Amino acid sequence: MLMQLLKRELLRHWRCRQDLINPLIFFVITVSLFPLALEPQGQLLARIGNGIIWVAALLAAMLSLESMYRDDYLDGTLELLLLQSGSPYQVVFAKIISHWLTSGLPLVLMSPLLAVMMQMESESAIALILTLLIGTPVLSLIGSVGMGLTVGLRQGGVLLSLLVLPLYIPILIFGAGAVSRASMGMDYSGQLALMGAFLVGSLSLVPFASVAAIKVSIR
């Protein structure tokens, strides 16, 4: 059941590839503009690179949230899926997994390139990839609740960022913090463990919150 729903989501995303590329291009362009705008000093870039890449990843994730439930809501598919699939949690899970696969994972894969552009050391580049790998699923999960709440609103974009961004901030702090510790040659396993805890926590609670949010929205 979950596999079928997931297949459907991925097929849909594949058919609208340009929507997928949008957040990724945003991510790459935002990060690559900084070396042009700042003084071309290697140390400066390496010092602020972690923060820039993390902020860009956060905003790119927000950009792609809109595609999560909006289309399905507008053409009535969301109601049908919730009613007919037996378990609405599977629908939500399929949505979240496909959202991460199509928006989070490309960011992770692109990040080594951007780390090089930011002249980061290999130690901090590895930390960046690890934190993004743990952090981006959390962004998709939390975003699913926010999107579920705002899917019924015509102008939900501003509200969505107000709802979701505060919840993203801990991830941003620990993600960027871990990378900067790595760049100083310190141990960052504590930050990683906390991010892992966020992931497990949201993984177990978000499906309930998302389903409840969507049910409110489609009334």
Q: Can you give the binding site for another protein, defined by CB under 8 A? A: 1, 4-5, 7-8, 11-12, 15-16, 71-72, 74-77, 79-86, 215, 218-219
**Neighbour-count burial of 184, counting CB atoms closer than 10 A to its CB (0-12 exposed, 13-18 middle, 19+ buried):** exposed
Task: Look up tokens 């390496």; give the residue.
Answer: 46
- Return the structure tokens found at 11: 């097929």
Residue found under tokens 């990683």:
192
The vertex-115 CA angle with 58 and 113, nearest 5°, equals 95
Distance CA 51, CA 180 (A): 8
> If you compute the radius of gyration of the chain from its CA atoms, what whole number of angstroms results?
18
Choice between 8 and 47, CB closer to another protein: 8
105, with CB counted inside 10 A (0-12, 13-18, 19+), is middle
